[in-house]
A and B are shown apart, each in its own frame.
Chain A
Amino acid sequence: MFKIIKKVVLGPSLTLFEVSAPEIAARVQPGQFIILRINDQGERIPLTVADFDRSRGLLTLIFQEVGRSTKDLGKLAAGDGILDLVGPLGKPSEIDKLGRVVCIGGGVGVAPVYPITRALKQIGNEVISIIGARSKDYLILSEEMRAVSDSLQITTDDGSAGQKGFVTDILQQVIKADNAIELVMAIGPLSMMKAVAEVTRPYHIKTMVSMNPIMVDGTGMCGACRVAVGDKMKFACVDGPEFDGHLVDWTIASLRARMFLKEEKIAMETYSCGGDGNCQNQR
């Protein structure tokens, strides 16, 4: 059992857990992820690590409730245990001193981009950060991001915080103002990461994205998480999760994300019925 030490509700269906996992906390690097399983019936849920405290042996996990399993996770409270937690998985981000870099986080994707941003800053880069969300309520870690960036700009779809629009609008401006950008690191929804890659492509700015495909074991054993990168088939769990955004086949990636849509709906129906399959009162 892995104990939840602290729970913070960050926004509508956005939750932060601090989980006691000393061995993993001692080892994890920015960009890596863990897989957890709530209970014996549960799915294996991959989550990118948002932060870690090596001295206290804690991992920070931030997730959005998007389906049955993440809803179940959101019901847990501080003091509860998570049955299984395995990691660190995947390759760490490459953290090099490059010069000027841009770190972009969208939605819950701000969580994994945060430790990468911090590491890029610590090694001596000039870090321009852009974070975005649907609206003010969905915006997370803005103060934390500000603290590890040379500048931070915020966008929301509805203009309730920062500039109205998308992270790519700001990215365009940043690139036009100064093209000496060595790296763009973008984590968020597929559509956002694809849009970022399209913005940087004509400028040949190296753009890394973190893929979060459907996954089972997370150790390279099942091949569910395959991503088409250039002309190669890669496994996000062991070859990634970060890949060159200009080489990722975004069409295949978004189609593959829909593999179990029907089943996800069925699982949600059993959830709204309290899991006992007796839905009659609610229909």
Chain B
Amino acid sequence: MSKSKIRPPRQAMPLQDAQERVKNFEEVALGYTEEQALIEASRCLACKKPLCVDGCPVDVDIPGFIKLIQEKNYSSALAKIKEKNNLPGICGRVCPQESQCEKLCVLSKKDKPVAIGRLERFGADWISTVTQPAEKVVSSGKKVAIVGSGPAGLTAAADLAMLGHKVIVMEALHTPGGVLVYGIPEFRLPKSIVQQEIESIKRLGVEIQTNMVVGKINTIDELLAGGYDAVFVGTGAGLPYFMNIPGENYNGVYSANEFLTRTNLMKGYLFPDYLTPIRTGRKVAVIGAGNVAMDSARTALRLGAAESTIVYRRSEKEMPAREEEIEHAREEGVQFRLLTSPVEIVGDENGWVKALVCQRYELGEPDESGRRSPIPIPGSEYEMEMDTVIMAIGQGPNPLVSQTTPDLAVNRWGNIVAEEESGKTSKPGVFAGGDIVTGAATVILAMGAGKKAARAIHNYLLHE
């Protein structure tokens, strides 16, 4: 490459206008045009030792697929991504690339990094209408049960199917996808994309059974005794946390899980065409500042709230949400009440929320998470008028599987104990990964865990 050549700037993602999009559930980020994708792809230096790949939890050959985009060989680009990642349309949209692949891109030292995530999405979207025939693999004769059809389970399922194993995924809800379907809103991740990528995993031979609550309809022990050679548990962070402050049972208080599930999985935003109701008041407070909190605050505006406010006890710098999500929320009019945390929810005589009593905080010394710890300021309590409060302070592990599997070790928070590199648990033949092991994290980390577990399960099945 000639040094005199001027590198084009990082291509901006075309967005739906903030004033417009806050009134609909259509996707916010519209995706690169072919022209933009080719310009962006041309920025890649094709490093001999690509650092970006080190930042990818599932080891996608990033320079490889970008080169194929440069050559306009889009179907091969997608195939290259899919060697490692069976959910490219999803990852291209929701991965925190800025703290993974793009963070390590050499360009980021002097310029902005290559927009790897946007190119991944381009590759996935460009070809998504094309049906790719599944490659025939030789059957191993082994059968694996996957509990949970979220990112961890789907990734493990796809990898195991490609290795020739019979894979049955068991999903508790009526639609597969886990958090991709019930949690992440349509405007950030269209459900048609999730469905397409799940269809492509099914074409690998994976069978998905919905309405199957493992721990209720059957147990892990019964699966192992009943013909399954191994089990992967990827049941996610399906237990909402509340704050244990007075007033949390008033009407108008939701967990973020409930608020988002009603809206996304049950399509409450289309009520009454879809019959599951969702009610957003005029003034909505969302407690917490992670991605789930941003999703909730932005959803509230789309459902018609006049004001939607993030209430967070630390400062802007500590907010765990992706910068892009915070920026989009701000553009849409979400307000931020930082260094503030609720101490009580006040209700009216009919049991509806009418106000939130908050306390101000200041930042002290860094705590074990490395972030400066929030310290309440005595006597700083004040009241804010609110009619809806959404708790987005995190989720714990759902206990249905561990409760019914006595020899499956869990830690004191209820997370399944599993080896990081293999997903191996205390129980022979049982592997686990994703949020059920790590606590609530990201889609891509769960996928990484699913991938490692698939490799370990494959080895286990060969040497069993």
Interface residues of A (CB under 8 A from B): 23-24, 27, 37, 41-44, 68-69, 72, 83-89, 216-217, 219-224, 226, 228, 233, 238, 249, 251-252, 255-256, 258-260, 262-264, 266-267, 270
Whether A258 pairs with B251 at a CB distance below 8 angstroms is yes
**CB<8 Å pairs between A and B, sample of 17:** A23-B217, A24-B217, A27-B217, A72-B275, A88-B216, A216-B258, A219-B172, A219-B238, A220-B399, A222-B258, A222-B262, A223-B254, A223-B258, A226-B248, A226-B249, A260-B279, A266-B271
Whether A262 pairs with B239 at a CB distance below 8 angstroms is no
Given A89-B216, A258-B351, do A84 and B239 touch, yes or no (CB 8 Å)?
A: no
| B370 is an interface residue with CB less than 8 A from chain A | no
Name the residue among A68, A85, A219, A258 with the largest chain B CB count within 10 angstroms: A219
A249 contact set on B, CB distance < 8 A: 249
Given A44-B276, A259-B251, do A220 and B262 touch, yes or no (CB 8 Å)?
A: no
B244 to A, closest residue via Cβ = A233
| Cα distance A68–B274 in the bound complex, in angstroms | 11
| B106 is an interface residue with CB less than 8 A from chain A | no
B172 to A, closest residue via Cβ = A219
Whether A221 pairs with B249 at a CB distance below 8 angstroms is no
Name the residue among A41, A88, A223, A252 with the largest chain B CB count within 10 angstroms: A223
| B257 is an interface residue with CB less than 8 A from chain A | yes
Whether A221 pairs with B272 at a CB distance below 8 angstroms is no
Given A68-B275, A86-B213, A87-B216, do A221 and B251 touch, yes or no (CB 8 Å)?
A: no
Whether B242 pairs with A233 at a CB distance below 8 angstroms is yes
B211 contact set on A, CB distance < 8 A: 84-86
| Cα distance A83–B240 in the bound complex, in angstroms | 27
Name the residue among B210, B213, B218, B400 with the largest chain A CB count within 10 angstroms: B213
A260 contact set on B, CB distance < 8 A: 277, 279
Whether B251 pairs with A88 at a CB distance below 8 angstroms is no
B422 contact set on A, CB distance < 8 A: none
Whether A222 pairs with B257 at a CB distance below 8 angstroms is yes
Whether A252 pairs with B277 at a CB distance below 8 angstroms is no
Q: How far is the CB of A31 from chain B (nearest CB, A)?
A: 13
Given A87-B216, A216-B262, A256-B351, do A223 and B257 touch, yes or no (CB 8 Å)?
A: yes
Whether B174 pairs with A84 at a CB distance below 8 angstroms is yes
Whether A216 pairs with B276 at a CB distance below 8 angstroms is yes
Chain B contacts with A in 229-253, Cβ cutoff 8 A: 238-240, 242, 244, 248-251
| B261 is an interface residue with CB less than 8 A from chain A | yes
| B196 is an interface residue with CB less than 8 A from chain A | no
A90 to B, closest residue via Cβ = B216
A216 contact set on B, CB distance < 8 A: 258, 261-262, 266, 276
Whether B276 pairs with A43 at a CB distance below 8 angstroms is yes
**Given A23-B217, A84-B210, A221-B239, 6 more pairs with CB closer than 8 A:** A87-B213, A221-B257, A222-B240, A223-B257, A228-B249, A267-B271
Whether A221 pairs with B217 at a CB distance below 8 angstroms is no
Whether A42 pairs with B275 at a CB distance below 8 angstroms is yes
Is chain B's interface secondary structure helix, strand, loop, or mixed overall? loop
A251 contact set on B, CB distance < 8 A: 351
| Cα distance A260–B277 in the bound complex, in angstroms | 7
Whether A41 pairs with B240 at a CB distance below 8 angstroms is no
Whether A222 pairs with B275 at a CB distance below 8 angstroms is no
CB < 8 Å: which of A44, A72, A87, A238 contacts B400? Answer: A238
CB < 8 Å: which of A69, A221, A224 contacts B238? Answer: A221
Name the residue among A219, A222, A224, A262 with the largest chain B CB count within 10 angstroms: A222
Q: How many A-B residue pairs have CB under 8 A?
A: 122
Name the residue among B262, B267, B272, B279 with the largest chain A CB count within 10 angstroms: B272
Whether B249 pairs with A263 at a CB distance below 8 angstroms is no
> Which 10 pairs from chain A and chain B are nearest by CB?
A255-B351, A263-B277, A86-B211, A222-B258, A223-B255, A221-B238, A84-B174, A223-B240, A259-B251, A260-B277
Whether B258 pairs with A219 at a CB distance below 8 angstroms is no
| B75 is an interface residue with CB less than 8 A from chain A | no
| B350 is an interface residue with CB less than 8 A from chain A | yes
CB < 8 Å: which of B250, B267, B275 contacts A267? Answer: B275
B267 contact set on A, CB distance < 8 A: 41
| B173 is an interface residue with CB less than 8 A from chain A | yes
Given A219-B213, A219-B238, A263-B271, do A224 and B258 touch, yes or no (CB 8 Å)?
A: yes
B172 contact set on A, CB distance < 8 A: 86, 217, 219
B100 contact set on A, CB distance < 8 A: none
Q: How far is the CB of A32 from chain B (nearest CB, A)?
A: 8
Name the residue among B172, B255, B276, B399 with the largest chain A CB count within 10 angstroms: B276
| B24 is an interface residue with CB less than 8 A from chain A | no
| Cα distance A129–B401 in the bound complex, in angstroms | 36
A44 contact set on B, CB distance < 8 A: 174, 266, 276
Interface 1/0s, chain B 162-186, versus A by CB < 8 A? 0000000000111000000010000
Whether B398 pairs with A220 at a CB distance below 8 angstroms is yes
Given A27-B217, A37-B174, A260-B279, do A220 and B251 touch, yes or no (CB 8 Å)?
A: no
| Cα distance A42–B248 in the bound complex, in angstroms | 28
Whether B255 pairs with A222 at a CB distance below 8 angstroms is yes
A263 contact set on B, CB distance < 8 A: 271-272, 277, 279
| Cα distance A78–B269 in the bound complex, in angstroms | 32
| B35 is an interface residue with CB less than 8 A from chain A | no
CB < 8 Å: which of A23, A41, A255 contacts B350? Answer: A255
Whether B400 pairs with A219 at a CB distance below 8 angstroms is yes
Q: How far is the CB of B439 from chain A (nearest CB, A)?
A: 15
Q: How far is the CB of A49 from chain B (nearest CB, A)?
A: 13
Given A89-B213, A226-B249, do A41 and B273 touch, yes or no (CB 8 Å)?
A: yes
| Cα distance A219–B171 in the bound complex, in angstroms | 11
| Cα distance A226–B273 in the bound complex, in angstroms | 27
Q: How far is the CB of B374 from chain A (nearest CB, A)?
A: 24
Whether A256 pairs with B251 at a CB distance below 8 angstroms is yes
Q: How far is the CB of B320 from chain A (nearest CB, A)?
A: 21
Whether B279 pairs with A221 at a CB distance below 8 angstroms is no
Whether B277 pairs with A267 at a CB distance below 8 angstroms is yes
Given A84-B210, A216-B276, A260-B277, do A221 and B240 touch, yes or no (CB 8 Å)?
A: yes
| Cα distance A223–B249 in the bound complex, in angstroms | 10
Whether A252 pairs with B249 at a CB distance below 8 angstroms is yes
A42 contact set on B, CB distance < 8 A: 275
Name the residue among B172, B216, B273, B398 with the largest chain A CB count within 10 angstroms: B216
Whether A223 pairs with B242 at a CB distance below 8 angstroms is yes
